[in-house]
Structure 1
Amino acid sequence: MAGYHILAFFVGFILDMLFGDPYWLPHPIRLIGNLIAALDRKLLGENDKKNPFFRGVILVLAVTGSTVAVTAALLILAYRIWLPAGVILESIMTYQILAAKCLKVESMKVYQALETGDIEASRKAVSMIVGRDTAQLDQTGVAKAAIETVAENTSDGVIAPMIYTAIGGPVLGFLYKAINTMDSMVGYKNDRYMLFGRAAAKLDDVVNFIPARISVLLMIFACLFTDRDFRKGERRTVVCRRAYKIWKRDRFCHASPNSAQTESVCAGALGIRLAGDASYFGKIVKKPYIGDATYPVEIEDIPRVNELMYRTAAICEILCILILCLLS
């Protein structure tokens, strides 16, 4: 079965790189999101119920348990019916777990709007991929938000799910995505979710701890394979050394132990300053800066960070397949 898993893992990666998520198809992550939203309403309601932390634990158990059960049942059934059907289903599931192309497409919508000078369109485009308030962002703020999203999600949306899928197939891959989706929906530190979302948020920190640091190593290595004009014609070794330097200094400049890991690498590679204060739900949240303002943030940094993300994903895929082949 190892050979089938390796084949499906490779095919799923290629499908994601080529096509991304077709918006006209129902996506499993949206279904998981709908389940989380329904359980949120049922378990927490109008935020007047007792023991919100315990209810949050129930949410985590219900979502993760149902995700694993459904994914495993579908795969087992497909493989028992016909081996090629199992490989096809596993390939499609792997394709749905990864999000490199989707991340690039959505961030490049921001880039294209900025290129035309349409600030309102760019704010709307970036609001689709960030959790912060975007109505008051200027061109630099919009570009920074898009760059930070790609940087952070290089780990959360690409490398971490790739690693988990390589280890445990779509069952473990979708389990990771379910945890990550819960954190994005209920992991806020506001009055409603401070206790209810704590279990999901802490679990997300745990499952991302090692993948985030693997992502850092892969991303720094990927700096050696960027295009020659990646950053003002600088040598790749200069970009690589600066990425390492800023990561070493700023990797913990975030409330989460993981979020600043890849963001600091990207800030260093691009030679720009990211993060800083941001508005969430109408309230300013104080955040330290990440990186140095060696260069001003510009809209061309959006395709640059996407290039770095793609290079990192390709390196991770190759390494995962080599390790799987050696272990099979």
Structure 2
Amino acid sequence: MKNTIIKYFKNWGFILFILLILEIFIIGLVNPNFLNISNLLYSSNDFMHIVIVSIPFTLILVTGGIDISITSVMGLTSIVFGMLHTFLNMPFFLAIVLALLCASLCGLINGFLVSNTDINPLVITLGTMFLYKGIAIGIAGSSGAAGYNGITGFSDSFLTLAYGSLGKIPYPLIFIIFLAIIFAIILHKTRLGRQYYLVGVNKDVASYSGIAVKFTITTAYIFTSLCSGVSGIILTSYFTSARSDLGSDALLPTLTSVVLGGASINGGSGFIVNTVIACFFIGYLKQGLMSIGISSDVSQIIVGILLILTVTSKIIISKIRLIMLNNKILNKVI
């Protein structure tokens, strides 16, 4: 029994889950309305786009990469969908499919550039971030939808994507569950998932082992951009307008969630379930702080500090483990 308890507390995902429960309980002591199940379920809609993009973003960090263009892909997908559905009178389902194909193309470009050059992924995706953002702003400007209101006039059936529910469970939350299951299977139970880890540990060794490194890296970026597009569509439904700036604040909480969930910025580690738990931890943290009167700007600062502390603690822990391992080897030699 004792060993079982110790085993659970060595599991970072379990610790995160306990912290999430404690967080909700503590905020609930200050604001009892926060503990209402319906409020918790529907308030999660505010950060569902973060969860959706964080899940495949884990794959990129596992491979040792990074993608900071996700926010621009959200905005571009939103604008493309708005143009197709509103100005060209295309059925919203077909408009969604074409907009997501556009998002996937962005991921293909990112993946191709990252896997075929020696340029740091941060630099590449910084460039594509401005590229996709510029295209989105250009399309919005040419359609006369460059203002804050963006493209509006969507059908009620489209708006149910963000506001509909199955019983008391919002549609976005149901989608998150299926998405997490799919990517957990891909990362932890398939050959492609094992390849992500091997590429993240050492690309050269992975290549010598017969792994298609370029293909593996590219798929991670395509998956991430595709899900960024999905986030853009859901945000469009949530705000009832298509704008080029939708999701512009998503990068920091996304990166923080994935790193807090256990993914290493150097590659080789990462867990889908942990990422999802971390997303809810950060999402409810921001929601809770605002519910007790703390501004969103302050909550952003707290999330930034959390990211710094998480990365720093991982570096310190790694160095401590290395020192302990070296001492153990030295003692055996002596």
Report the TM range for the smaller structure's normalisation. Answer: 0.3 to 0.5
| RCO comparison, higher one (Cα < 8 Å, 6+) | 2
Q: Which has the larger radius of gyration?
A: 2
TM-score (norm: length of structure 2): 0.32
